[in-house]
Amino acid sequence: MVKVEVVMRRLMCCALAGVAFAAVAADIVIGQVVPMTGALAEYGKDLTLGVNLYVRHLNERGGINGQKIRVAMRDDGYKVDETLKQTRDLIAKDNPVALIGFVGTGNVAALLKENVLADANIALIAPYTGGEALRVPFNPYIFHIRAGYADECEKMVAHLNSFAIDRIAVFYQDDAFGLAGLKGVEDALAKRKIKLLVKGTYEKNSDAVSKGVDDIVRADAQAVIMISVNNTTGRFMKDYRDKGGRAQLYNISVVNPAALIKIAGIENAKGTGISQVMPFPFARTTRAAAEYLDLMKKYAPQEKPSYASFETFIAAKVLAEGIRRAGTNPTRDRVLRSLETINKYDVGDYVVGFSPTNRVGSQFVDISVIGKDGRLLH
């Protein structure tokens, strides 16, 4: 009884002193499952960095509608079964209102096949993949902020065709990701009545590139379009050049130029073209890039800018707008419905737009080139 009276006296004193008491709103949780270990660990590092840059910035400014944002993260090692397991675990234990920045065409496709998103009625924004199987047929749970692999491949083939280059080979990862890119190249070539010269392949989560290198070297291609991840791309580039390959090399947007140079060496990497689905993040050429670079300097000065972290930085901005529109104490359904109201949303000279019948927010594609000093030119 005495203890109760003491507490009451303290509360009364605080009230007399003008201290207000109010219920503290719970954090808004968003979830991310990415490879933090294994062959694609560097991707996971960059993709979580981008999300957390903007979340830290938001929280320092009071959060969204008075609630702070918390990112719940899980590691899937780029393994499909782990993506399923970790996503289910995260949804059950952390109760996120939305998911963001997953990796892998096959990994995300498994979430759809197993109805993980549908059963939870939860939106996944900005998966780090351009696979057409995740876009067609229409799926209401996935919101893409990047162009598809078909768009990227069309851009590269059109670029090559403008120089009358038609002896084109493809080196690809033998899974849903690589096959999506391969189909994109084949479709772009067929549109121009050009036949694919040769295919070289490798298994997912491996760096066994030798056979693919040999097949493409023998074919004497003028250009090679690679649908591959950092480690394997770098190894292919080095082995291909070491064995006398002279073709112009290209890759789609999933690779990090700095990683390619580290693995292949600048002599083998220079001149490589890379299709990009985001604005240039290394200079203040857009308002989004300027904001990103400022926050990198503030929160992660030890890290280097990259297209991957810039992509999830933009994704976090888009998701934050969706959560803001969902109001106080947002639910999964309200966030999902509010995301589809985002139309022609300018995140800083980069526009994203969805609707109740459209989940592909952008078709922007550019081509950059690794310069002789290792800097990316655009």
Residue 71 has pLDDT above 90, yes or no: yes
Does an H or E element contain 83, and which? helix 80-94
Predicted structure pTM score: 0.89
Token digits for 26?
């719970």
Q: What is the pLDDT of residues 356-375, one digit of tens each?
A: 999 999 999 999 999 999 99
Q: What is the pLDDT of residues 85-102, one digit of tens each?
A: 999 999 999 999 999 999
Residue 104 has pLDDT above 70, yes or no: yes
Q: Is 328 helix (H, G, I), strand (E, B) or coil?
A: coil
What pLDDT sits at residue 39? 85
Class of domain 29-148+284-352: alpha beta
What pLDDT sits at residue 378? 83
Q: What is the mean pLDDT of the chain?
A: 92
CA separation for the pair 59, 67 (Å, rounded): 8
Residue 62 has pLDDT above 60, yes or no: yes
Token pair 């990227």 is found at 152
First-residue to last-residue Cα distance in the chain: 74
What pLDDT sits at residue 25? 63
Confidence of residue 272 (pLDDT cuts 50, 70, 90): very high
* Strand residue runs (E) in the chain: 28-34, 69-75, 98-100, 123-125, 142-143, 168-173, 198-202, 223-227, 248-251, 273-276, 345-346, 351-352, 366-370, 376-377
How much of the chain exceeds pLDDT 70, in percent?
93
- CATH 3.40.50.2300-classified regions of the chain: 29-148+284-352, 163-276
Residue 129 has pLDDT above 90, yes or no: yes
What pLDDT sits at residue 10? 44
- Average pLDDT estimate for 200-215: 93
- Average pLDDT estimate for 73-80: 97
Q: What is the pLDDT of residues 240-271, one digit of tens each?
A: 999 999 999 999 999 999 999 999 999 999 99
- Average pLDDT estimate for 269-280: 97
What pLDDT sits at residue 26? 78
Q: What is the pLDDT of residues 146-171, one digit of tens each?
A: 999 999 999 999 999 999 999 999 99
Residue 24 has pLDDT above 50, yes or no: no
Nearest Cα to 205, choosing from 166, 231, 237, 170? Answer: 231
Residue 2 has pLDDT above 60, yes or no: no
CATH number for the segment(s) 163-276? 3.40.50.2300
What pLDDT sits at residue 4? 39
- Average pLDDT estimate for 172-186: 95
Does the CA dihedral 54-276-365-134 come out positive or negative?
negative
CA separation for the pair 367, 135 (Å, rounded): 22
- Average pLDDT estimate for 49-65: 97
- Average pLDDT estimate for 282-291: 97
CA separation for the pair 154, 185 (Å, rounded): 7
